[in-house]
Each structure stands twice: as C-alpha cells, then as structure tokens.
Amino acid sequence: MPGEAFKDLADYIEEKLGDAVHGHEFFGEELVLNTKAEHLLWVLDFLRDDKECAFGILIDVCGVDYPQRGEERFDVIYTLLSLHQNHRIRVKIRAGETTLVPTATGVYSSAGWFEREVWDMYGVLFDGHPDLRRILTDYGFEGHPQRKDFPLTGYVELRYDDELKRVVYEPVKLTQDFRRFDYLSPWEAMTDVQLPGDEKAVIPPHGWRGPPTKATKIKEGKA
C-alpha cells in the first residue's frame, strides 16, 4: 500500500493540475493519473519540473487495446520515475485510431523510440514526432500486430527466395485443418483412466474406467 507521503503527493498533484487531471488511483504502490491528450504535455511538464514531484525520467510509453470501448479503443500510458521522491507514476490517456496524441519528445527525449513502438504495435498517431516510423516490425509490414483484431497468423509471411536471391513477401496460406480448433487433447492418456480434455483419445478396447477406489486397491493388493 502507498504511504501517507505518496497519498499527500497525489492530492497535491491533483490540486495543482486542476481540470487537467480526471482523478487518480493507486495500483499497488504506483500512482495512476488520468488525463486527456490535449492536457498531456502540460501534465508531463508539471510532473518533471515541479520541485515536489521531480519525475525527471520517462521509463516507458506503452499501449493497451480495448476494442469493445468503441472509438477511443486505446490507452496510452506514460511511466515516470522520480529519483528525488523514489516514486513511480503513470499518466494514462485514451486515444482512437485517428486521435493525434502530442509527442512527448520535447519533454522527455527518450519518448522518441517509445512512441515509435506504440505506433508500430497499435497504430496510435503522435503529432509532431520527428521520425514516426516502424521500429519493431520491418518496413514492409502491414497492420499493427498488438491490436486485438489483428490475426495471429498475420497477413503475409517473409522468406528468402533462392532463385531470386532476395527476401520476398507472400500471403499467409493455411489449410483449413490448421484453422479448426476444438480445444480437446489429441493425445491418448498414458493410462486407461480418461482425464478431462482427453475426449478425442481412442477408447481402449476394454473401455474407460474411473480412478481406482480404495476397495479396488485392496483387491489388487496395492493398498
């Protein structure tokens, strides 16, 4: 649980930022501030420069996808560290596929690569970013693989062609057998006792029997 000093700091931040912060909450010992994209740079500036806060290090920028939320399906989360206070804080905003989130590179230079990762994985647009291009996938990649509606197989596969002597992209081709899942184990158990999930296994000629009872063990001399 957060200490009283950290709770006082949270109240202080919310009081100073006013309407720019839409409440705060604690997860374990980390404080989470909720704000909007238009207030983001003001909030980050304050958390970095205020002497009571001194969150001088941006540790990470990450995204989360909630497609069921509709238009604002993404959360963009900034994790800050204060060596002075020995505290971590998270600033969270919501964004959609067309939302222009202002880049934080002018406040924290480390945001450059982090924001490129979020754009690459989720497609969140960062307005004013000096070099917004892919960083984890290759330059010919289509789509954003961390979105919940992105297929696990992807759309294209990459391979080296011996005849062309270069890397080529091809559409993913899977036979229907690889797309059908019934979530049952394809393996027959090592014993003749049927276990949950083994319904696909071939029934032994002598049939399934339940787990051995105490009477059975005594009869078989195993008790």
| pLDDT tens column, 179-217 | 555 555 555 444 555 555 555 555 555 555 555 666 655
Helix (H, G, I), strand (E, B) or coil at 199: coil
The pLDDT value recorded for residue 151 is 85
Q: Domain check: are 97 and 190 in the same one?
A: no
Q: Of the residues 109, 139, 169, which one is the last residue of a structural domain?
A: 139
The pLDDT value recorded for residue 50 is 94
Contact 89, 80 (CB under 8 A): yes
Name the DSSP class of 200.
T
Contact 209, 192 (CB under 8 A): yes
pTM of the model as a whole:
0.73
Dihedral through CA 194, CA 196, CA 197, CA 203, nearest 10? 20
Structurally, how many domains does the chain consist of?
A: 2
Query: Could you say which residues of the chain have pLDDT below 70?
Result: 1-2, 174-223
Residue 79 has, within 13 A of its CA and on its CB side, a CA count of: 9
Q: Domain check: are 21 and 122 in the same one?
A: yes
The answer to whether position 165 is within a domain reads no
The pLDDT value recorded for residue 189 is 44
